[in-house]
Chain A
Amino acid sequence: MTATTTPIAHGDGHAHGGGHHHTSLGLDNRKIAIWTFIGSECMLFASLISTYLIYKGRSPQGPYPHEAWTNPSTGEVMKPILDIPVTSASTFVLLMSSVAMVMALNAVQTKYEPKITTWDKIKGSSKLWLGATALLGTIFLMFQAYEFTSFIHEGLTIRTNLFGSSFFTLTGFHGAHVTVGVIWLLTLLAIDFKRGLEPKDALLVDISALYWHFVDVVWIVIFPLIYLIK
C-alpha cells in the first residue's frame, strides 16, 4: 500500500524540549512505557486465546458456540449460542472507533492549522472525535452486555462448561480493557473541554490512542477465532 504522509510537528514521542521525560535516545519514556505495556498485553491475550482454543470442542455438555444442543433439564433442542449478526455489528462499531481515534489525534496535532472549509472544521474538532470514540466504545460495551445477558438467559455462565469459562474469561478481559479505554477517553475529553488540548498535549492523546488501537487489534484477532471459525 502506498500511503500519503504528512509531517507532524509535535507530540510524536521524540525530543522537542518542553521539559518532558526524554531518554538518551531522544524518545519520551512515556511512549517507551506504553509500547512495553502493549507488548506485555500481547502475551496476556495470547495466553487467554490459547486457553480458549485448547478447550474448544471439549465441553461435555452445552450450550455450544456453533452447534445445536439439547437442554438436559427440559429436553428442548437449543440453537447454537453465538449471535453472529449482532457481534458483526459490534465489531464494525469498534473498527470505526479506531478511525475516530486517529482523527482525534490528528485534530490535536493540527489544532493551529487554518480551518477554511466545513470539513476542515469537522476534522479539526478534537472534542468531536474524542467524544465519538468514547461513544462508539460505549456502544461496543452495550453490545457485549447484551450478549452476556442473553447467554446467561440461555443457560451459559462462566461455570457451565469449558466453553463458558474460556469464552467469558477472554471476552470479559477484553471488555474490561475497553472499559478502561472509555474512561481514559472521557478523561481526555474533560481536559479538552476544560482547557483545550493543544499540539503540546498530542503525546497524551497518542498514548491513549495506542492503547485504544491495541484493544481494537485484539478484537480483530478474537472475532474470527471465536465467532467465525467453527
Chain B
Amino acid sequence: MASHTEAHAEHEHASVATYGKIALILTIITIAEVSAYYIPAWETSSIYVPSMLTMSAFKFFLVVAYYMHLKYEHKLFKALFSGPLAIAGLTLIGLLFLFSKLVIRLGLLT
C-alpha cells in the first residue's frame, strides 16, 4: 500500500497554477533581496547576511522541489541530489573555516 502511494506520488507534478504561484513568490523574494541591499538600516544590520542566505536558500528549495519536481520524485533521485549537495555544503563550510575570516569572525582565532 505504501509503495503504491509512493509510486502514485512519483507520477504527480505540480500544476500550472502552482508554477505561477511559485514564480510570483520567487519574484517577490528577489525584489526583497535587492531592496535589502539599498536599505541602509537593513544592509548594515546583523540580520542582513542571515536574511540574504535564508531568502536564497528558500528560493533554491522552491525551484528544486517544484520546478525540478524533486518533491514528487523517487527517493533515489532525492538521494542522488541531496547527498552531493550535503558534501558540497560541508566542503564549502570546511574550506571557509580553514582559509577565510569566518574562523576569526566566530571568535575561534584572533
A229 to B51, CA, bound (A): 10
Residues of chain B within 8 A of A106, CB atoms compared: 13, 16, 19
A96 to B87, CA, bound (A): 29
A225 to B85, CA, bound (A): 17
- One digit per residue, 1 when the CB lies within 8 angstroms of any chain A CB and 0 when it does not, for chain B 41-69 equals 00100001100110110011011101110
B81 in contact with A224 (CB, 8 Å): no
A12 to B7, CA, bound (A): 12
Q: Of A8, A91, A217, which one neighbours B60 at CB under 8 angstroms?
A: A217
Residues of chain B within 8 A of A158, CB atoms compared: none
A224 to B30, CA, bound (A): 10
Tally of chain A residues near chain B (CB < 8 A): 59
| Chain B residues touching A, range | 35 or more
B16 in contact with A123 (CB, 8 Å): yes
B81 in contact with A54 (CB, 8 Å): no
Residues of chain B within 8 A of A12, CB atoms compared: 10-11, 13
A35 in contact with B19 (CB, 8 Å): no
Residues of chain A within 8 A of B72, CB atoms compared: 5
A84 in contact with B34 (CB, 8 Å): yes
A27 to B68, CA, bound (A): 16
Q: Of B16, B52, B66, B99, which one neighbours A54 at CB under 8 angstroms?
A: B99
Asked if A221 is an interface residue, CB under 8 A from chain B, the answer is yes
A101 to B19, CA, bound (A): 10
Q: A88-B30, A98-B67 provided; 13 other pairs, C-beta below 8 A?
A: A3-B14, A3-B15, A6-B13, A14-B7, A25-B74, A27-B74, A39-B81, A40-B84, A54-B100, A92-B30, A103-B19, A224-B52, A227-B37
Instruction: Please list the residues of chain B having a beta carbon within 8 angstroms of any beta carbon in chain A.
Output: 7, 10-20, 23, 26-27, 30, 33-34, 36-37, 43, 48-49, 52-53, 55-56, 59-60, 62-64, 66-68, 71-74, 76-77, 80-81, 83-85, 87-89, 91-92, 95-96, 99-101
Closest 7 pairs between A and B when the two form their complex, measured CB to CB: A39-B84, A46-B88, A5-B12, A35-B80, A4-B15, A50-B95, A42-B88
